[in-house]
Amino acid sequence: MKHTAISEKFVLITYFVGIISIGAILLSIPAAWAGEGRLGLIDAMFTSVSAVCVTGLITVDTAQYSLFGQIVILLLIQFGGLGILTFTTVIFISSAKSKKVSLRNLQTVRGFYLDSIEFKAHHILSNIIKLTFGVELVGALLLWLRFRSTVGPGAVFHAIFHAVSAFCNAGFSLFSDSLMGYQKDPYVLIVIMVLIISGGLGFLIFNDLFHVIRKEKKRLSLHTFLVLRVTLILIITGTVLVAVLEFQGVLRGLGPVDFLVNSLFQAVTPRTAGFNAVDESMLSASSKALTIILMFIGGSPASIAGGIKTTTFAIVMLAVIKEVDWKGRIRVKDRVLSSAMVTKAMMFLAKAFALLNVSIFLLTITEMRGDPSIQFFDVMFESVSAFGTVGLSTGLTPHLSSLGKLVIIGTMFAGRVGLMALTIPLFIDREDMIDYPEEEVLIG
């Protein structure tokens, strides 16, 4: 049991490290770079990690890469964007001697897909790939209709690149100013938002909605209910707050339609997407704080998005507001969340806070000690953006020291792979099978 669990962690981490390493090597060769001078190895590694972890933070302008380099980045985003669940499923299938998956792996995958859903590994993988490429293809077509008049000869590649980047919640853009040039183009911003939300909801949600629409199920699962409700609340609340906070700020002077669309976009993009239609450094302190909260929450489980996930946030908030019953459970609608589920959400949140605080602390050492002009708020913003695999920046990332870049690289990897690896238990200890006497500890 111990050997199997460690093997799962090892394969998971090794796969991502392998893809990142290949990407870094390809991006470091001269043919991948079209800018001045030569791209440094750390910058190539940074770009590769950011692409595979679908983060979007950059130390060099993506537009300065050659077509070959941009294709490499696109492929890295796609491989990373298919999600940890997809890759682990592929690993389980490819490592199995038959078409059946081991009980251990079955339980692990069902932990993501819920017991109520029939587990057929090849069907899950096939549906994920079909949905991913299908949505990206439609998104690319819609973007091409606009880019053909604004971009010119490279419209097709720009459309494909941005569609993949948006659906994968990567935030990489071939435009040096991200989407600020399209701030007054509702069409492009709406298409990008739809792609972001689709990628951030999760395949399980679409699967559940599909079965309900076809009347194969009478009702949505509690998981789908929580994801959709929390997502809607965050988008609406975020939009209203951005509109109020930036009415006389970065959104000042926009017409009614552009004002509404940009407020909505600023509420959607922090959910691990990373595109920006406004200058993030010009946001008010309140808007930056709101953005940090949205980046930390992120998207939904079994999706391409990062962050602690909407369901974790929902369970923790329910535990705080409604409190648990005498069995440690929480009632939601006509269902009950077990004490084990509540504990798992709390532990996940605690691990996220711990890893994030380490990143912030290290950046204060590597960056703020050498440059007093750097503000702590900017360091926190950058760390949360990296950890939530978002990609938004107030402008600090391109000016990071070599050590600072390594810290952000580690933060992106931890936010994308590390937390999920931590959720896989090493082994079942014999001591867990022994009941010990309970004893009270004072809290608060």
- Local structure of 390: helix, strand or coil: coil
Q: Is the pTM of this model over 0.85?
A: yes
Amino acid 156: pLDDT: 96
186-201 and 222-245 helices cross at what angle (nearest 10)? 150
Which parts of the chain sit beneath pLDDT 70? 1-8, 83-122, 419-436, 440, 442-444
pLDDT of residue 1: 45
| Token representation of residue 146 | 């606009």
The runs of H, that is alpha helices, within 29-82 are 41-52, 67-81
Contact 137, 144 (CB under 8 A): no
> For 27-51, how does the pLDDT look when each residue is reduced to its tens digit (9 = 90+)?
999 999 998 888 999 999 999 999 9
CA neighbor of 303 nearest in space, from 418, 423, 223: 223
186: tokens are 């509702």
Q: Is the dihedral of CA 274, 280, 283, 288 positive or negative?
A: positive
Mean predicted lDDT score pLDDT of the chain? 84
State the distance between the two ends of the chain, measured CA to CA, in whole angstroms: 38
d(CA 26, CA 24): 6
Predicted confidence at residue 423, as pLDDT, reads 56
Helix (H) / strand (E) element for 332: namely strand 330-332
Q: Among residues 40, 35, 46, 48, which one has the least CA distance to residue 75? A: 48
pLDDT of the residue at 108 = 45
pLDDT at 278: 93
pLDDT in tens, 281-309: 899 999 999 999 999 999 888 778 888 88
Give the separation between CA 269 and CA 199, rounded to whole angstroms. Answer: 12
Q: Which two tokens stand for residue 441?
A: 């500890």
> Residue 337 forms beta bridges with which residues?
330
Instruction: Give every CB contact of residue 115 below 8 A, 6+ residues apart in sequence.
Output: none
Q: Given the structure tokens 């183009």, which residue do they identify?
A: 185
Residues in the chain: 444
Segments making up each domain of the chain, as ranges: 2-433
pLDDT in tens, 324-335: 777 777 887 777
